[in-house]
Amino acid sequence: MAKPKLIKPSPKLQGRFVGIIFISAFLIYANTLKNDYSLDDDIYTKKNRFIQQGFSALGDIFDKGSLVGFNNANESNYRPVVLLNFMIDTHFFGNNPHIEHLVNVIVFGLSCILLLLLLQKIFKNYNAYIPLAVTLIFVFHPVHTEVVASIKSRDELLGWLFGLLSFYYLFKYTENQKISKNRYTSVFFFLVAILCKENSLTFVLIVPLMLYFFTEIPFKRVLIITAPYGALILLYLVVRTGILESNTFKDKIVVMNNGLMAAKTSGEMLATNFVILGKYLWLLLVPIDLTWDYSFSQIPIVPFSDWKAILSLLVYLAMGVYVVLNFKKKDIFVFAILFYLITIFLSSNLVVKIGATMGERFLYVPSLGFCIAFVFLLLKLLKMEPHALNWSNRATLFSIIGLVLFLYGFKTFDRNKAWKNNFELFTAGLEVSTGSARAHYAVASEYRVKGEAEREQQKRKEDLQASVDEYYKGIKIYPDDAEVWYNLGVTYYDQGDTANARKVYAKAIELRPNYSMAMNNTGVIYFNQKNYSKALYYFKKIVETDSSFTDAFGNIGAAYHNMGDYKTAAKFYEKALEKDPRNKSTLNNIALVYKIMGDTLKANSFLQRASAIP
């Protein structure tokens, strides 16, 4: 039986569809516009030196990894188009988080319009309201809040935007294969997409998948059309390998970044991996307990005897069996399943371990498979023919979808508030991620920052104590992070508890023997107690292993200064100034030493240098 052809929506109706999508997308995320920076936003914004340098650093964002401007690590990420986008924003608007959030919302809204237009092309033989319904589910789904509300996730947004443009022009080309410019345009936007986010590499498999399911193009021709996309991936990988020092993280992935690293056997790792994959499906179905953090040990390591691992494995096996049995039928649920599996694959940790246990951002693109399956399953349950021009019982369908959109919209709008700033995000996350060491550490850090800035003594005391409490809750889960012990020591020091500060600094040094900051702070404690010999022990230990740690040379000089050994003090002050010639404190100290030793000429010389520094 031939499938009926639908007349395209009239320009007026199409205008309404487009307006509904964009206005919905904008309004549902409008409350993010007042949010500040949070979480990893600094990576691409105010702490990225290339972005701050502006267009003079244009070459750097294309011939270096995307992390170099932030932490000098030329590894893992190559996303020059995203950095270019932030560079343009910063050039015109400065470091303005509200503008950056506005851009995110606009990009999201535009991508949702493109999604509607693409779905209208691939579902051209279906009822005109199906593309609208699928797109609205995508717009309102709460699992997308991390991507839209996080400035840093512009990479996800732009990767999907340009991916949709690529797919759209691909289908324009299939409508009239004599117009080659549509094909070239599609390939170009595919390249831009992979220069935004590595996850876009999976789109090379989505191209033939869509052509197979939604066109009558012969398989051989499908392969020919797909070939340029594959060639671009090879070119991209060659360029990326030449630019980056490492295609992944050079250092071993640590447990704190990816909880799967805590598995003792490959079986435990795989079982826990399936628990995570099952949780992804659950979040698509029931997006309630959302959080920014799923790290160790929010998702505990489990064996394959765990019911969650078994259930998840069975669900994915069932999906696989369904695909195999119905692939040749071009079943729409097969397409939805394969779209989900393909686009989540690189983030799944199944083959290549990434720097995260799991993340809601990894569901942004794959969720389209769920949105398609949701609408078509609803049609099936209501016994409504997807190809019918008119639906007699469409009121029931619209009522159900309306209810879902209302619930999703309420959750999304409310969830956006958590992304206001780090304190709001981390404290909200702790309500869900109670088992995550990182979640506790993050909240502890925010309380410490608040306490340090607080002028009212009682409130300062409460914030610092809250910081200590949260650090210990995290340490109970994961005690082997030297930096956490160091930060706890800083908090104790802020409280005036130098005894406990020294104890936890010692723990940090035990975990990381060459931890310069922990040794320096320990030395400072002894220095302030006038135990200069002990202080010198720690300061000298630093310079033995880290000659770039300038403060240690100045501190050694200060210790000898206070011990009355002015000649040795001057020597170390000189070394400190070799590394930091504009250190005003060191310049004043060395001037005082030379004055005591009777060398007025040198003393005045250093005083003049100090006075020239603002």
Quote the pLDDT of residue 2.
Answer: 45
Is residue 286 left, alpha or beta, with left meaning phi > 0 and alpha meaning psi from -120 to 50?
beta
Could you tell me if 372 and 335 are in contact, meaning their C-beta atoms sit under 8 angstroms apart?
yes
Cβ pair 260, 349 in contact under 8 A? yes
User: Looking at 63-77, 453-467, 472-486, which range is the least confident one?
Assistant: 63-77
163-167, 234-238, 252-256: the lowest-pLDDT one: 252-256
Strand pairing partners for 246? Answer: 75
Look up residue 75 and give its DSSP letter: B
Q: Are residues 486 and 503 in contact, defined by beta-carbon separation less than 8 angstroms?
A: no
- Give residue 67's pLDDT: 92
**Residue 483 in contact with residue 446, Cβ under 8 Å?**
no
Quick check: 6 and 119 in contact, CB under 8 A?
Answer: no
Position 315 pLDDT exceeds 80: yes
pLDDT band at 544 (very low <50, low <70, confident <90, very high): very high
CA proximity to 475, closest of 441, 509, 451, 429: 441
* Residue of 401, 413, 405, 359 whose CA lies nearest to 376: 401
pLDDT score at 352:
87
Cα 214 to chain centroid, rounded:
33
% of residues, the chain, pLDDT over 70:
98
**Separation CA 374–CA 363 (nearest Å):** 15
CB 575 within 8 A of CB 542: no
pLDDT, tens digit (0-9, with 9 covering 90-100), for 39-51 = 999 999 999 999 9
Better-scored residue on pLDDT, 430 or 7 = 430
- The pLDDT confidence band at residue 1, using thresholds 50, 70 and 90, is very low
Sign of CA dihedral 527, 530, 536, 541: negative
Tell me the pLDDT of the chain averaged across its residues.
Answer: 94
Task: Taking residues 234-261, report their average pLDDT.
Answer: 85
The whole-number pLDDT of residue 394 equals: 85
**All domains in the chain, ordered by first residue:** 11-417 (no CATH), 532-614 (1.25.40.10)
pLDDT at residue 61 tops 70: yes
What contacts 69, CB < 8 A, 6 or more positions away? 48, 49, 50, 51, 57, 60, 61, 83
Residue 358's Cβ-count burial label (10 Å; 0-12, 13-18, 19+) is: buried
pLDDT of 217 > 60? The answer is yes
| Region of 54 on the Ramachandran plot (φ > 0 left; ψ -120 to 50 alpha; else beta) | left
Quick count: other Cβ atoms within 10 Å of Cβ 219? 10
Tokens of 313: 């494995």
Amino acid making up residue 362: F
- Cα distance between residue 162 and residue 188, in whole Å: 9
Q: What is the pLDDT of residue 252?
A: 73
Residue 8: pLDDT above 80? no
Q: What is the pTM of this model?
A: 0.91
Query: What integer is the mean pLDDT of 352-361?
Result: 93
User: Strands (DSSP E) along 463-611, which ranges?
Assistant: none
Grade residue 512 by pLDDT with cuts at 50, 70 and 90: very high
Q: Which of 174-188, 310-324, 325-339, 483-497 has the lowest mean pLDDT?
A: 174-188
Instruction: Read off the pLDDT of each residue in 442-468 and give the average, rounded to a whole number.
Output: 96
pLDDT bucket at 246, cuts 50 / 70 / 90: confident
Q: List pLDDT tens digits, range 93-142.
A: 999 999 999 999 999 999 999 999 999 999 998 999 999 999 999 999 99
For residue 146, pLDDT over 70 is answered with yes
Helix (H, G, I), strand (E, B) or coil at 420: coil
What is the band of 4 on the pLDDT scale with cuts at 50, 70, 90?
very low
Share of the chain above pLDDT 90, in %: 89
Average pLDDT over residues 497-523: 96
Q: For 480-499, what is the mean pLDDT?
A: 96
What letter does residue 57 receive in the DSSP assignment?
G
Using the 8-state DSSP alphabet, how is residue 298 labeled?
S
Inform me whether the pLDDT recorded for 247 exceeds 80: no
For residue 406, what pLDDT band results from cuts at 50, 70 and 90? very high
- Give the CA angle between residues 436, 437, 441 to the nearest 5°: 120
- Tell me what pLDDT residue 20 has: 97
